[in-house]
Amino acid sequence: MQADSFWRTAVVRGLVDAGALGEVIRLAREHRGWRQADLGRRTSYSAATISRLERGRCAGVDAAKAKTVAAAIEMPSDVLAALLGVSTLAAATVVTTMAPAVQEDPMRRRSLLAAGLAALPMASLTRLDEALALTPETAGPVSHAKVTARLRAAWQAFDDGRLAEVVQGLPTLLATAHRTADQDADQPAVWVLVAGVYDLATEALHKIGAGPRSRLTADRAMTYAARSQDPIAMAAAARSLGVVLRHEDQQTLAQRVTMQAAARLEATGLTTTEQAAAYAQTLCTTGYNAALAGDRDGALEMMSQAHRAARHLPARRPTRLNTAHRFAITPAQVALYDVSVRWGLGDAGAALAAGTDLRPEQFPTPERRARLHIDMARAYAQRGWPEPAIGRLLDAYHQAPGEVRDRHSIRRVAIDLVHRSPRIPGARELAALL
């Protein structure tokens, strides 16, 4: 990695200006194509330690750890010094091959990259924080049917990739759900509904990179689902928590959480289509968690079971979903999970082969169609083929802009591709959209 081709780019300099040590380490690691475990092996630290350092969760900043990691990723000494507050980067001409659209105002870079909450007004997150701390009052009458309708509309916005709209509406949705629960606290169905609201919150917050908030909402989804004693609602909450845990680099724990939910579902006898769909979906999630935990055999076994479970499911998703648990998986969606699992195992060739026959028209929502393109883009990038990766990200953006622009992890992939391959067809267009 040549210093001038990476460390002096506008993105890195913006993060250095913001003092975002963890973000710089993460970006450099991903630039090399390393996982946290890979960097851990090169520094003799655990993947959890690397995760805490990248997420800014070390108590203060352990300068010794920072220096060791910096040496492994070949971070220039002046960059490390600036990040540790010892000095600032010397004024110099920035040598960058990044497309012009990525070379943006430093303050904007700080809000979009360092914070990782692209295109979302901070006022929305402030209101959400207040709602999570103190459930707000809601005006007018509420009912189970009214909250269900609002949740259905919010899921529709989610399916359309309108993540900012979903997050902005969460305080009101949470308020109405809790008020309904206050009125009918002895009804298990109301706790299924409340858990469903927190599932939505977790999925949306996770996608925009709001990690601590998504962990809070996932924990609450688990609590309210357990109160309902509904195995499908409990599986949905476990899935949400598993997603958050694996992004906290706790993949093994995520795998255990979702495996327990799958066992609970299996104990029902899977006598209904909803139970069977929930079971297949939970197996897919467990397989992906296992892949990211490095458990190859477990991941492939879970996916084999998921394919068997999905054989009798409809090829098309129902037009009207149960808003509380959202399990409507199809055989095509199980195949799409295969792409993710193979990518998670580091086998880009198998991931691309798994997605060869998948077509956008097999997926009924913009969010799912975008996910198809994104998963294939990640596999192409992992294989070292930037042109089809960029093309797929453009396809994903045209399906659901928020899936590329607002999702922290995918935005980073896009920025890295543009940085490394600025002359590839589509790179400038992708940069202009971010």
Q: Where in the chain is the domain with CATH 1.25.40?
A: 331-434
- CA gap 303, 341 in Å, rounded: 8
* Residue pair 14/109 in contact by the 8 Å Cβ criterion: yes
Model pLDDT, residue 320: 53
Model pLDDT, residue 122: 66
Model-wide pTM > 0.75: no
Q: What is the dihedral of CA 157, 160, 163, 169, to 10 degrees?
A: -10
3-state secondary structure 217-256: HHHHHHHHHHHHCCHHHHHHHHHHHHHHHHHCCCHHHHHH
Model pLDDT, residue 95: 33
Q: Where in the chain is the domain with CATH 1.10.260.40?
A: 3-96
Model pLDDT, residue 44: 86
| CATH pick for 331-434 out of 1.10.10, 1.10.8, 1.25.40, 3.40.50 | 1.25.40
pLDDT averages per 10-residue partition of the chain, 434 residues = 63 74 85 86 85 65 79 88 61 34 37 44 78 78 88 90 89 92 85 93 86 89 93 92 86 89 92 89 92 91 93 69 66 94 94 94 91 96 95 94 84 88 90 84
Model pLDDT, residue 121: 64
- CA gap 79, 62 in Å, rounded: 16
CATH 3.90.650.10 for domain 3-96 = no
Model pLDDT, residue 397: 94
